Structure 1
Amino acid sequence: MITERSWGKRQFGHRTRLALTPAQVRVMDDQAHAARTTWNLLHDWWTMLSKDKRSLTAADAAIRQARKDLDWLAILPAQAAQAVLKTYVQAWRNCWDGHADAPNFKSRVRCVMSVDIPQGRDLNVVRVHRRWGMVNIPKAGRIRFRWTKDLPVGKRADKENRITGARLVKDALGWHIAFRIQTLQANPQPHRGVEVGIDAGVNLPLALSDGNHFDHGRPARLPDGAADRDKWLTPGEKTKLLHLEQRAAQRKSFHKRGERASNRLRNTYDQIKRLRATATRRAVDWQHKTTTEIAKQYSTVVVEQLTITNMVKSARGTLEEPGRNVAQKAGLNRSISQEAWGRTVTMLTYKLAQRGGTLVKVPAPGTSQRCSACGVTTPGNRKDQATFVCENFDCGFQANADWNAARNILHLYRIGHLAIPAAGRAVVGRARRVKPTAAW
């Protein structure tokens, strides 16, 4: 029997696509532009005033006055404008705490179009069909959305299980709504699965120390060694993307610097963005399914602590000291970025925690060059990208390079050799020290 102490609140998000009419799309675009302008006006007002005159009350009064003076700002709901102020103040707090840079101006081209709905009671979410639901968007009306997950609405909603708010976000595929959900769930029991080490690679996305692996069925690198930039697209989509990129380059040749891009060029860019967004959506879907399967099967997952930003740095060098194999390194950087190892680790962290498991990080140096059978470390052990052959004459161990690295990762955890967390961050996991095995 589960006691009252075994329950806890959980907050998570659920994102789904909206089905908007052309008129509703224009309304949502206008609200997003108004929210971005409100941020910029607030940023100018905040930075121009002296510190002794800055306050939430004065900022709120300034936003109310701006909505009265500028009629097109009033299309943004009042609660959404207050959410902009709350987000802006929190951005400064994150800057003062050293967690982020100072907030700055939001460009119309580079910023993400979004609108916040801070109160869940304004949404009035109902399910009307097996695959569709209806949500109320302030000043836009009732809008359909894809029902892909059971939400706490109607009789299932109460004080502990409810939708607390939402955020409208636009990408290349259209407008989406991200619900903020709060539920009361039983705290997970300790996971009874086994421990496993995981090595993230390019040729083999995820190699496990027990011999299993997870592959998305799309080669990260072509047979000739070149990087496949669009491995998540079908052959027909790749051909279409190539034609669109050629068309964009041809139309851009007639575009002068500083002039506004033509409608045809912008339309071509939009089509390219939609194909890129489709590839990203498929990659994220594969990562979600794969990490869920791993979290269900294993109790402790051990990964390397990788500094991905350093791994994808350019090898171009300088004029005095030019780099070597720049094109090959650029292809490898694209392959690493497409695998999105950091996103995989993030998914594993919270999915393991939901099921009573743990994610642990260990130092990365030497795991790919060390023999998991005898412990000899030498660069010559790696014969190529996928083959590991130990050069120790008394050993001669041969295996897949990624599987060998996964075994080394798990062994580092078992001997208690954990990665030191960065300053100001919590420890990801806690390892228990065990005696080394006979084979290294």
Structure 2
Amino acid sequence: MSEIGLVNRQFGHRARLALSPAEIRIIDDQAHAARTMWNCLHSWWQMMPKAKRGLAAADEAIRQARQDLDYLAELPAQAAQAVLKTYFQSWKNCWEGRADEPNFKARFRAAMSVDIPQGRDLNIVRVHRRWGMVNIPKVGRVRFRWTKDLPVGKRADKDNRITGARLVKDALGWHIIFRVRGLETAPEPHQGPQVGIDAGVNIPLALSNKDHQDHGRPPRRPDGKADRDKWLTQKEKTKLLTLERQAAHQKSFRKKGEKTSRRLQHTYDQIKQLRAKATRRAVDWQHRPTTYLARTYGTVVVEQLNITNMVTSARGTIEEPGKNVKAKAGLNRSIAQEAWGRTVTMLTYKTARYGGRLIKVPAPNTSRRCSACGFTTPGSREDQATFVCKNPDCGFQCNADWNAARNILHLYWTGHAIVEVPAAGRRGRRAGKTVKPVAAR
């Protein structure tokens, strides 16, 4: 916090670049050079004794490599320094238990990216309402899609400015991610109501007060099977099916050990573009309800889910084969499409921005416990969409996701709240502490 009532806020803004084929080729070469630089650093790290693994020695090594290898010189000097700092930071994260050990970056599996660490080199100018111009080292002035007001020109100062950027490539092309630092007024404590949220498949975000957030796309097809392409139109689904069959046909002619042909790789690229388009639509929808929830509610209570264990395959082994394998696989695809973890991440920073709180409660039995009588009776959750309490003295019946949302909020009221804090464990672990809840509103 720099001044009383003001807070420093750092965030990223992603924008699409409009590049010519020659510019795409230059940035592709830079990204491959950055990946090669990372792999060279990793090889150097493994070969050098522990006593000589220093930042200065590594810096001297990459300077010499850029002189000896011409294709490494295609990467700007500052971007090469950013690769060096990122590599050493990855080891620091590993030693402190926040991540696994860094490894080699494969050509086709690693994400292509180039860092621009100095914000002053960007020289961002807004051309008109839809487009802006940015300077990329060794590429020149290129256009990008202007969708958010950025602190550039007279609006930029030492507290509100762009500190750097990163070029990233996905199936839809190259994008630029600006690192923005701003000084904002600290939000007042949100006085909105409390709400419990259950992330489900039938209702994406079921709320305890029935203010459900639904994207209107059914999780299953008319034949009852899970719809893994629900974010695509029917025309796009037909095209995707045609491309997948085409790829399978082309792959049948490839002998073992042969490289992927350009024709097959082009088919794969078309499939990736459709998948990326579906993901972009899903993320766009997630931003809208999470912003609405953060603005409306002061306390948002969610489950602490272990999604990795939830989407584990039920196939089993040869000695002990699993049951309902196809049904479990369809459920796993539906869970993966809803991206519950990404929703919680959005709620985490958005509630903090609007002065609210995000609380996590234990997940066991929230979907099997009756929210009316409080008992967990076997057989109450026989249907995926409906909850029917089998307690003879209750008989409560409602939507299963709404019942779980009510249980989630009740756990917070009864003092089972968990606040996440950084832990010294492996990646994905968090240490928690119980907090006393405020009075229910």
**Whole-angstrom CA distance in 2 between matches of 1:346 and 1:385:** 26
**Whole-angstrom CA distance in 2 between matches of 1:6 and 1:341:** 33
Look up the SS of the partner of 1:189 in the other structure: coil
Q: Which residue is equivalent to 1:432?
A: 437
Letter in 1 for 2:260: A
Q: Which residue is equivalent to 1:353?
A: 352
**Whole-angstrom CA distance in 2 between matches of 1:388 and 1:77:** 60
**Whole-angstrom CA distance in 1 between matches of 2:435 and 2:161:** 33
Structure 1 residues 89, 43: CA separation in 2 closer, same or farther (over 3 Å shift)? same
Superposition deviation, residue 392 in structure 1? 2.2
**Whole-angstrom CA distance in 1 between matches of 2:96 and 2:62:** 26
Letter in 1 for 2:126: R
For the Cα contact (< 8 Å) 1:360–1:429, is it kept in 2? no
Superposition deviation, residue 395 in structure 1? 2.0
TM alignment of 1:78-157, pairs within 5 A = 78-157=77-156
Q: Which residue is equivalent to 2:298?
A: 299
Q: Which residue is equivalent to 1:330?
A: 329
**Whole-angstrom CA distance in 2 between matches of 1:349 and 1:202:** 21
**Whole-angstrom CA distance in 1 between matches of 2:382 and 2:77:** 63
Q: Does 1:221 align with 2:226?
A: no
TM alignment of 1:207-246, pairs within 5 A = 207-246=206-245
Q: Does 1:34 align with 2:33?
A: yes
**Whole-angstrom CA distance in 1 between matches of 2:323 and 2:317:** 11
Look up the SS of the partner of 2:7 in the other structure: strand
Q: Which residue is equivalent to 1:384?
A: 383
Look up the SS of the partner of 2:182 in the other structure: strand
Superposition deviation, residue 418 in structure 1? 2.3
For the Cα contact (< 8 Å) 1:247–1:268, is it kept in 2? yes
**Whole-angstrom CA distance in 2 between matches of 1:147 and 1:257:** 46
Q: Which residue is equivalent to 2:427?
A: none
Q: Which residue is equivalent to 1:167?
A: 166
Look up the SS of the partner of 1:166 in the other structure: strand
How many positions carry a matched residue from both structures?
A: 434
Q: Which residue is equivalent to 1:373?
A: 372
Superposition deviation, residue 67 in structure 1? 0.6
Letter in 1 for 2:26: V
- Normalised to the residue count of structure 1, the TM-score between the two structures is 0.96
Look up the SS of the partner of 1:342 in the other structure: helix
Look up the SS of the partner of 2:86 in the other structure: helix
Letter in 2 for 1:432: P
Look up the SS of the partner of 2:183 in the other structure: strand
Look up the SS of the partner of 2:322 in the other structure: coil
For the Cα contact (< 8 Å) 2:229–2:237, is it kept in 1? yes
For the Cα contact (< 8 Å) 1:120–1:166, is it kept in 2? yes
**Whole-angstrom CA distance in 2 between matches of 1:364 and 1:102:** 30
Superposition deviation, residue 421 in structure 1? 5.0
For the Cα contact (< 8 Å) 2:195–2:409, is it kept in 1? yes
**Whole-angstrom CA distance in 2 between matches of 1:23 and 1:236:** 32
**Whole-angstrom CA distance in 2 between matches of 1:360 and 1:148:** 32
Structure 1 residues 156, 401: CA separation in 2 closer, same or farther (over 3 Å shift)? same
TM alignment of 1:43-82, pairs within 5 A = 43-82=42-81
Superposition deviation, residue 223 in structure 1? 4.0
Superposition deviation, residue 371 in structure 1? 1.1
Structure 1 residues 381, 230: CA separation in 2 closer, same or farther (over 3 Å shift)? same
Structure 1 residues 429, 167: CA separation in 2 closer, same or farther (over 3 Å shift)? farther
The one-character-per-residue Cα deviations of 1:262-318 (angstroms, maximum 9, x if unpaired) are: 111000000000000000000000001110011110000000111000000011111
For the Cα contact (< 8 Å) 1:206–1:214, is it kept in 2? yes
**Whole-angstrom CA distance in 2 between matches of 1:50 and 1:13:** 38
For the Cα contact (< 8 Å) 1:358–1:429, is it kept in 2? no
Letter in 1 for 2:286: Q
**Whole-angstrom CA distance in 2 between matches of 1:135 and 1:231:** 36
TM alignment of 1:394-409, pairs within 5 A = 394-409=393-408
Structure 1 residues 430, 349: CA separation in 2 closer, same or farther (over 3 Å shift)? farther
The one-character-per-residue Cα deviations of 1:48-95 (angstroms, maximum 9, x if unpaired) are: 000111111111111111111111111100000000000000001011
For the Cα contact (< 8 Å) 1:134–1:144, is it kept in 2? yes
For the Cα contact (< 8 Å) 2:169–2:175, is it kept in 1? yes
Structure 1 residues 204, 409: CA separation in 2 closer, same or farther (over 3 Å shift)? same
**Whole-angstrom CA distance in 2 between matches of 1:260 and 1:307:** 38
Letter in 2 for 1:392: N
Structure 1: gaps of 5 or more residues = none
TM alignment of 1:235-314, pairs within 5 A = 235-314=234-313
The one-character-per-residue Cα deviations of 1:377-412 (angstroms, maximum 9, x if unpaired) are: 113222411111222232221211111110010000
Structure 1 residues 184, 309: CA separation in 2 closer, same or farther (over 3 Å shift)? same
For the Cα contact (< 8 Å) 1:361–1:429, is it kept in 2? no
**Whole-angstrom CA distance in 2 between matches of 1:429 and 1:32:** 46
The one-character-per-residue Cα deviations of 1:338-383 (angstroms, maximum 9, x if unpaired) are: 1100000000000000000000011111111111111121132224
**Whole-angstrom CA distance in 1 between matches of 2:260 and 2:222:** 38
Structure 1 residues 296, 257: CA separation in 2 closer, same or farther (over 3 Å shift)? same
Superposition deviation, residue 426 in structure 1? 5.9
Superposed CA RMSD:
1.6
For the Cα contact (< 8 Å) 1:300–1:359, is it kept in 2? yes
Letter in 1 for 2:332: N
Superposition deviation, residue 428 in structure 1? 8.8
**Whole-angstrom CA distance in 2 between matches of 1:282 and 1:427:** 34
The one-character-per-residue Cα deviations of 1:408-432 (angstroms, maximum 9, x if unpaired) are: 1000001111247584446599441
Letter in 2 for 1:115: V
For the Cα contact (< 8 Å) 1:360–1:431, is it kept in 2? no
Letter in 1 for 2:261: S
